[in-house]
Amino acid sequence: MDIELSMVTYAMPILLKGMANTILFCSVSMVIGFVLAVGIALARFSRHAVLRRSAQWFVELIRNTPFLVQAFLVFFALPKLGVRFNATTAGILVLSLYAAAYFTESIRGAILSVPKGQMEAARAVGMPYFRAMRRIVFPQMLGYLLPSLTNQVIGVIKESAALSVISVPEAAMAAQVVLGVSFNPVDTYIMVALLYWLVTATIAAVMLRVERRVLTRRPGKSAAPVGASAA
Amino acid sequence: MPSPERQPIIKVKNLHKRFGPLHVLKGIDLSVQTGEKICIVGPSGSGKSTLLRCINFLEEPDEGMVWLDGAPMGFIEVPGGGRRRATESEINRLRASVGMVFQSFNLWGHMTVLRNIIEAPINVRGLDRRTAEAQACRLLERIGLIEKRDAYPSQLSGGQQQRVAIARALAMDPKIMLFDEPTSSLDPELVGEVLEVMRSLARDGMTMLVVTHEMGFASEVADRVVFMDHGAILEEAAPAAFFRAPQNERAAQFLAKVIRQRGAV
């Protein structure tokens, strides 16, 4: 089995265009999702039961249903309620919600990884809650947050392929366009897989470097202990 | 007896706290005058720490009230007998005047010693950095750790961390200092240096509320010893009287047990 060159020169521009869209749509969705997730994660720790429950309910709802079904629902159900989007907007919306739910769990876990006493010491000197979160808890949770966030980011990118079912013009959709002209699914999907792999592997490598920088910047408890391995 | 017009700096009235089915505080009443040093002793699980944490509202009392220098902490009494929660900023304003030292130090791990001490003065009090640093250095001189100003908490011994934690609390210029078993998680040889800092604080006239198992410290420094068990105050007495002849039977049992384990007071 070898991949025909003419096939590559024909298909690659279409697939690259699709992958560029995938990167664009995922980036927008993940930025929106992250902002939502910070709020929802904080709501999970709220004094008010209504906020806590709503936040948990949202996460459970997204986590316990297939992304494909969520995409169909947003695409077909919302217009019936009088809300009209084009496919791309619907896709970004549903992907944002999906990212928000998974990021929320990462952030929640990371907040819990910081010993409770850190927050209490900040509250005891009269520091307002959100300032204490920002100045005391957030900086100390990064070492825990980044690895799990990397997984979620990669998960969102892979899951975004399902948006092709509602005709969002992303990479998996581009593959179908290519197939419509030259029927060669094996070669086409090998190229698509390679493109996804390139993007996700790059992200993983970059995030790993960021993690290392965060962890070695200071002699915190998550870094190698000072003076250890002296022998 | 303090004259009646002198307002206590801490007043606790009929304080109740429950954790689920557990009734941890069962109607605590306590008054502390400015400059008084109170040591709270008692078996573990008696509610000592919870009482301390209710005073600066780290725990929300279910019933009863705490007043700090006359200001109600955490709740506002409404006419007709009810109460509602005070605003966050009011709670924070009162907390800023109460220093707290924790059993597990709780120094902020991502900040140097100096940064730990200037963090709240700058970000809560609104002090400029230069003033805050000058003050922090004076405090570090006082606790004998000026050479550690750029170290991180993980590079310090437990005793050093606790001394820095005391300096961090003092940097807010508190009217009251609460100590929640400040030496209980220290190796025995490190207890002395922390108690020494606390003694010097007591000599300077700080109002101190200390939950401790250090009976020697209590008998030496306290104006009054408060014995708690099962969520209630069972005895309040001058240390000489308390340690020589406790009136309450459970206090006597507790002291006998402590003395058996740790030697004479």
A59-114 tens-digit pLDDT? 999 999 999 999 999 998 888 888 888 899 999 999 999 999 999 999 999 999 99
pLDDT band at A2 (very low <50, low <70, confident <90, very high): low
Given an 8 Å threshold on Cβ–Cβ distance, is B88 in contact with A129?
yes
| Cα separations in angstroms, A198 against A85, A158, A192, A194 | 31, 12, 10, 6
Residues on A contacting B at a C-beta cutoff of 8 Å: 115, 117-118, 120-129, 131, 135-136, 139-140, 218-221, 225-226
pLDDT at B103: 96
Given an 8 Å threshold on Cβ–Cβ distance, is A117 in contact with B123?
no
Say whether pLDDT at A225 is over 70: no
| Cα separations in angstroms, A138 against A108, A134, A172, B104, B109 | 11, 5, 36, 20, 12
Residue A85 to residue B224: CA distance in whole angstroms: 72
Nearest to B51 by CA among B223, B220, B227: B227
Say whether pLDDT at A214 is over 60: yes
Are B61 and B15 in contact by the 8 Å Cβ rule? The answer is: yes
**Read out DSSP for B85-136?**
EPPHHHHHHHHTTEEEE-TT----TTS-HHHHHHHHIIIII---HHHHHHHH
pLDDT at A111: 96
pLDDT at B17: 96
Are A157 and A26 in contact by the 8 Å Cβ rule? The answer is: yes
Q: Which of A121, A125, A131 sits opposite B96 (nearest CB)?
A: A125
pLDDT at A231: 29
pLDDT at B264: 56
Q: Which residue ranges in chain B fall short of pLDDT 50?
A: none
Q: In terms of pLDDT, which residue wins out, A48 or A84? A: A48
Tokens, residue B194: 């922390």
Q: Which of B92, B100, B109 sits opposite A221 (nearest CB)?
A: B109
Q: Which of B110, B114, B122 to substitute to test the interface with A, most A CBs within 10 Å?
A: B110
Q: pTM, whole model, 2 decimals?
A: 0.87
pLDDT band at A226 (very low <50, low <70, confident <90, very high): very low
pLDDT at A82: 82
The gap from C-alpha A81 to its chain's centroid, in whole angstroms, comes to 28
pLDDT band at A223 (very low <50, low <70, confident <90, very high): very low
pLDDT at B187: 93
For B173, which residue in chain A has the nearest alpha carbon?
A: A125
Instruction: Map tokens 């954790």 to a residue.
Output: B19
For B122, which residue in chain A has the nearest alpha carbon?
A: A127
Q: What is the pLDDT of residues A145-203, one digit of tens each?
A: 999 999 999 999 999 999 999 989 999 999 999 998 888 899 899 999 999 999 999 99
pLDDT at A222: 43
Q: State what percent of residues in chain A have pLDDT above 70.
A: 92
pLDDT band at A122 (very low <50, low <70, confident <90, very high): very high
